[in-house]
Chain A
Amino acid sequence: MLIKKITSILLIVLILISIVGCSNQNSNESSQQANQTEQSEAKEISIAVIPKALDSEFWLDVKQGAEKAAEENNINLSVLAPDKESNVEQQFRIIEDMIQKKVDALLIAPCDSAGVVPFIEKANEANIPVFTIDTNADGGDVVSFIGTDNVLGGKIAGERVIKLLNGKGKVALIVGVPGQQTMRDRASGFKEAIATAPEIQLVAEQPANSERALAMTVMENILQANPDLDAVFACSTLMAMGALEAVEAAGKLDQVKVIGFDSQKESLEAIKAGKLDSLVAQNPFNMGYLGVKAAIDYINGKEVPNRIDTGTELVTIENVDKYLK
């Protein structure tokens, strides 16, 4: 039985090898033919977009943007993502498969900025240009990073505060995990903006690790120490919601304006209800749209800047309906 099985497996391996061998010969011939046909008609560009997942509005917007750019430019687009953002290896397997597919460009939103590096290097070896969207990679040869300019986003929040307080008052800042680049950028943009208004005083700067519950506690403490606070900027939407809860519990909704970063249905509804003042919204659609366009430009030999801002917009009660669609 064992011998039978081994021989059968050997046979199959042989068959497989011979198929591979034959197909290689065939493919050589057929690729020559293909080359000829390609030359006769315009070669169709194929681009693969690999988001972190496709399980949230954010990534679906990225996909829509990519699809729009693909349609406008008549190219072949694949959008493939792991089933959840935590499934890092699945994303890297998709990258490997797309390298096998010899796509003309890869757009990746890395699930893990450090982990993705060897896979970007693999694509580099295969001469496939790599673009990162939303989140940059820690290394490898990346043509361009297409994402939110978080410093600018922070500045927008700072300008909103200046406008709200007429250039005079006490503000607090709630930041995310210390050391996270995006969070640091938002905070520094905000501080840069309020530094232009000498009568605005930054009375507190506390981390809340992008956690809602922690942000609530942090905000309670800030309110205790600064009963006359006028506004607070939280660097993420979850922290903004936590801070809002603390402000509401203290009965200071009329006194303290809360500004957050990133839009989410719940926080948009809080704006609509007049509780949350505003949010700095990112533009995931643009990440897909501008990303694919940049890749096409690059393939066509045009210059592509190594950093493309996808834009941020302040969402207030005046334009919140557009986001709540």
Chain B
Amino acid sequence: MLNDNECKSTDNGDKSSLSIWHLLSEYLQKFGIVFALLAMCAFLSISSPYFLTLSNMANILLQSSINAILALGVTFVIITGGIDLSLGSVLALSGVVMGVAIQNNITIFIAIILGLLVGALCGFINGLFITRLNLPPFIATLGMMSIARGLALVITEGYPISGLPESIRFIGSGKIYGIPMPVMVVIILFFVSHIVLTKTKLGRYTYAIGGNEEATKLSGVNTKKYKTILYTITGIFSGIAGIVLAARVNSALAIAGMGYELDAIAAAVIGGVSQSGGEGTVAGTILGAIVMGVLRNGLNLLDVSTYWQQVVIGLVLVIAVSFDQLKRR
């Protein structure tokens, strides 16, 4: 992609490493996820007659959508070499703020905007923590994870806000041209993220910061500003996910989305977004989210308990990242 040259530069042009094994592993890393997805689908369609049906495929896409939105958001900061652990909590806070706004008879449109603003604000504060207080992203967003969750609980006192109006529920369960709304949201966000990352200055700086932050700063880029913007974007995406989730389950819960950050980070990493920064594509992230959706759906159809599902997803994550490491060798 656009930044292939930059990525390659980390290889230092070491010709001896260009062995067949290297090429093979690089190929596997680039397209491995597609092979993995196909292999999983093949396996699951043999083992369960209910897997490979159009309605189940639509079901998987719908179920993957929340994770995909969060994963797309976190892709931006992982590319810079950062991380955001507050995704799930910000999701809950945004949903709850929207819910409370609706309860107080605020127009639905404004309520949604409020939810998104809260997401953006959380992300912005994450950015400030990281760039102004020089906190490591892990710590700053771990703090936000607790702060946002706590605020969501404070606002609702722990009660669910249920029975949302029909127009909100449409976002969760409505369809446009036969495509479920949550999937539609993912498609739109996919294109937006793709354009931002590949066609804009912000996108170029994102990869540059991930590749070598110091060098990027020395070449005159205001890295603090851009990093803050990127964390804000991640926050907005979490906010969108929060609204879609609340709409889908017809209630805004302060305890919603616990642990979702891990699934989202896993999806991005499985999709080839590198934790060491500078690499990753939105297409990969989406595929990563679908892989996780297929895994969960398939394991449910095969009656595998959710405890084992966690084990399997952990293994897949480790295998995916080890391909990444092989490539770097």
Contact = CB atoms under 8 A, between A and B. Distances in A.
A305 B153 CA distance: 39
Nearest to B253: A88
B52 A23 contact: yes
Interface stretch (A89-97, A241-249, A259-267): A89-97
A80 B303 contact: yes
Contacts of B305: 54, 80
Interface string B38-74: 1001000100111011111101001100100000000
Contacts of A113: 162
Contacts of A84: 258
A193 to B, nearest CB: 30
Contact of A20 (B37, B57, B198, B245): B57
B35 to A, nearest CB: 10
Interface string A78-90: 1011111011111
Given A88-B256, A115-B249, A83 B301 contact: no
Contact of B283 (A9, A20, A112): A9
A27 B59 CA distance: 18
A5 B1 contact: yes
Given A27-B53, A100-B53, A115-B160, A88 B59 contact: no
Contact of A97 (B38, B59, B258): B59
B327 interface: no
Interface string A152-188: 0000000000000000000000000000000000000
A87 B307 CA distance: 13
Contact of B45 (A23, A30, A54, A114): A23
Nearest to A78: B303
Interface residues of A, number: 42
Nearest to B305: A80
Contacts, number: 120
Contacts of B160: 112, 114-115
B310 A114 contact: no
Contact of A100 (B31, B50, B172, B303): B50
Interface residues of B, number: 51
Contacts of B198: 2
Contacts of A97: 59, 63, 297, 300-301
A89 B55 contact: no
B250 interface: yes
A2 B59 contact: no
Contacts of B49: 27, 30
Interface stretch (A11-19, A200-208, A277-285, A313-321): A11-19
Contacts of B54: 20, 24
A8 interface: yes
A30 B255 CA distance: 44
B50 A101 contact: yes
B86 to A, nearest CB: 17
B227 interface: no
Contacts of B307: 54, 83
Given A27-B53, A100-B59, A114 B163 contact: yes
B250 A114 contact: yes
Contact of B41 (A9, A16, A114): A16
Contacts of A89: 66, 245, 248-249, 256-257
Interface centre among A20, A30, A81, A92 (most CB of B within 10 A): A20
Contact of B259 (A19, A30, A87, A101): A87
A102 interface: yes
Given A8-B31, A114-B251, A1 B163 contact: no
B306 interface: yes
Contact of A24 (B53, B255, B281): B53
Contacts of B169: 118
A88 B249 contact: yes
B150 to A, nearest CB: 15
A102 B50 contact: yes
A142 to B, nearest CB: 16
A5 B303 contact: no
Interface string B1-31: 1101000000000000000000000000001
Contact of A93 (B250, B255, B258, B296): B296
B40 to A, nearest CB: 12
19 contacts: A5-B281, A16-B41, A24-B54, A27-B53, A78-B303, A83-B306, A83-B307, A86-B256, A88-B256, A90-B306, A93-B297, A96-B63, A97-B63, A100-B50, A102-B50, A114-B163, A115-B160, A115-B162, A115-B251
Interface of A: 1-2, 5, 8-9, 12, 15-16, 19-20, 23-24, 27, 30, 54, 78, 80-84, 86-90, 92-94, 96-98, 100-102, 112-115, 117-118, 138
The 7 closest A-B CB pairs, nearest first, are A114-B162, A97-B300, A115-B249, A86-B255, A115-B251, A100-B56, A78-B303
